[in-house]
Every structure is written in structure tokens, then in C-alpha cells.
């Protein structure tokens, strides 16, 4: 099933970091990154990298390990991502 996805903005990611009260290294660990320097490539100013859906989903799942897939998607949306599963073709299967 295709998923339409737009990542959270760098500002959204900085706000998440502040809400969690995490260090840059803790955010890097949460998102599966090697270092705080790598985290800043997603949350910094200038020409930041877009956060991929798998990375964002991992962070949401790590923060709530008992969440369902839909609950993790809802968390991703709460962080600022746009996620819309394309269900138009499901009835044709």
C-alpha cells in the first residue's frame, strides 16, 4: 500500500527534542543515528535532510513499545509529519 508522506520540519524536530528534554545524543539514539552531529543534519537550519518515514516511525515505536502501527502513525503526525495511506486501490484486490 503506497503511503503519501511529508516529513516534519526541522523546527518540528527541534520542538520534539525540547518536549522530550533530550540531548542531541539521546535524539540520535532514538532515531538510530550515530551521533548528535548526525541529528543536527535533520534538525538544523540551512539545508537540512528530510526525516524518512522509517526513521520517524522507529522513534515513535521506541517511545511507546506497546503501540499499534496506527498509534505510531498518529504519533508521527503529532510530531508534524503528514501521513496518508493511499487506500484507493484496496477494494480492487
Average pLDDT, integer, range 64-89: 88
Residues 3 and 86: beta-carbon distance below 8 Å: yes
User: 3-84, which class in CATH?
Assistant: mainly alpha
What does the pLDDT read at residue 1?
Answer: 64
CA distance 18 to 15: 5
Q: For helices 10-20 and 69-79, what crossing angle results, to 10°?
A: 110
Contacts of 89 (CB under 8 A, 6+ apart): 1
pLDDT tens per residue across span 33-58: 999 999 999 998 788 999 999 999 99
Rounded to the nearest integer, the mean pLDDT of the chain is 90
In the predicted structure, residue 89 carries a pLDDT above the cut 50:
no
The three cell numbers locating residue 63: 517511545
Residues 85 and 92: beta-carbon distance below 8 Å: no
Amino acid at each position: 500500500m503506497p503511503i503519501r508522506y511529508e516529513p516534519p520540519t526541522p523546527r518540528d524536530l527541534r520542538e520534539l527534542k525540547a518536549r522530550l528534554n533530550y540531548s542531541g545524543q539521546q535524539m540520535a539514539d532514538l532515531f538510530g543515528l550515530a551521533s548528535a552531529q548526525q541529528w543536527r543534519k535533520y534538525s538544523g537550519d540551512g539545508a537540512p535532510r528530510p526525516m524518512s518515514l522509517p526513521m520517524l516511525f522507529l522513534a515513535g515505536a521506541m517511545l511507546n513499545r506497546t503501540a499499534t502501527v496506527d498509534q505510531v502513525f498518529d504519533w508521527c503526525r503529532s510530531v508534524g509529519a503528514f501521513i496518508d495511506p493511499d487506500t484507493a486501490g484496496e477494494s480492487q484486490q
